[in-house]
Amino acid sequence: MSVTGKTAIVTGSNSGIGLGIARELAKAGANVVLNSFTERDEDHALAAEIAKEHRVTARYIKADMSEPGQCRALVETAGACDILVNNAGIQHVAPIDEFPQEKWNAIIAINLTSAFHTTAAALPMMRDAGWGRVINIASAHGLRASPYKSAYVAAKHGIVGMTKVVALETAQEPITANAICPGYVLTPLVEEQIPDTMKEYDMSRDQVIRDVMLKRQPSKEFATVEQLGGTALYLCSDAAAQVTGTTLSLDGGWTAM
């Protein structure tokens, strides 16, 4: 099964990992739906650029993944969904007794609950089409914890659990559900944290990357958005037809420890 002509919806895909996955799927021939909560010319320009470069249909649809109705509307507006990549995510770091309630609610809503709504809306379309792939972008934090990341770790463990349930509910259909668990990936989100961390620890850029960010990543290398896109493509391939309800780690050995 090739992804040519399939429709892929990637949530949170106007930057970083989501954009990287959308590009890889488009390169392989999938029509892609980009999404975020903004409505800017550059969002639509990104979709136009992907469409032109890979000769596929690419659209940008604004939908705020913290709003249940907008999660479902994204799928309905797209009109088809063979491949659903639940990727939108945010982070906030604070001790649990100081963790702002609104940050907890936003992280759970965007990183976990949105995937419940998009999956519920997309499964009937996959069933009608007779094929489907649900790909949830979890994290090494879906399998391991770190201090100060209560909401993020809870949401990522939650999405790993939900992935298994979707896999069981679709086990006898040509639909699979899996979670990709990246370690650190050098996206704009991570890049932005480097200058502050350099100041905080009085370290060079290289020291921050190696000794702070990649401390728990034994390979001492970031995973790349292209590797994540390649993994999503693998999950769409015939070779992965029996791969369901599991996690695929791209974490340079983090969760081997």
* Residue selected from 3, 10, 17, 151 as contacting ligand NAD according to rule CB under 6 A: 17
Site for ligand NAD contains 176 (CB under 6 A): no
Site for ligand NAD contains 21 (CB under 6 A): no
Q: CA-to-CA distance for 23 and 229, rounded, in angstroms? A: 8
Nearer to ligand NAD, 30 or 137 (CB): 137
Site for ligand NAD contains 231 (CB under 6 A): no
Site string for ligand NAD, 25-44 (x = CB under 6 A): ----------xxx-------
Q: How far is CA 84 from CA 2, 133, 189, in A?
A: 15, 6, 22
Site residues (CB under 6 A) for ligand NAD, limited to 145-164: none
Residue pointed to by tokens 């702070």? 212
Amino acid code (one letter) for 20: G
* Residue selected from 129, 189, 198, 212 as contacting ligand NAD according to rule CB under 6 A: 189
Nearer to ligand NAD, 41 or 238 (CB): 41
Nearer to ligand NAD, 125 or 138 (CB): 138
Site for ligand NAD contains 137 (CB under 6 A): yes
152 counts as catalytic: yes
SS (H, E, C) 80-117: CCCEEEECCCCCCCCCHHHCCHHHHHHHHHHHHHHHHH
Q: How far is CA 19 from CA 1, 187, 239, in A?
A: 23, 10, 24
Stretch that binds ligand NAD, among 50-58, 119-127, 182-190, 238-246 (CB under 6 A): 182-190
Residue pointed to by tokens 């709003």? 67
* Residue selected from 139, 176, 178, 231 as contacting ligand NAD according to rule CB under 6 A: 139
Count the residues in the chain: 257
Site for ligand NAD contains 65 (CB under 6 A): yes
Q: CA-to-CA distance for 167 and 146, rounded, in angstroms? A: 27
Site for ligand NAD contains 88 (CB under 6 A): yes
Q: Per the residue annotation, which of 152, 184, 201, 234 is the catalytic one?
A: 152
Label residue 194 exposed, middle or buried (CB < 10 Å: 0-12, 13-18, 19+).
middle
The strand order across the sheet containing 31-36 reads: 58-62, 31-36, 7-10, 83-86, 132-137, 175-182, 247-250
Residues acting as catalytic residues: 152
Q: What are the residues binding ligand NAD (CB under 6 A)?
A: 12-18, 35-37, 64-66, 87-90, 110-111, 137, 139, 182, 184-185, 187-190
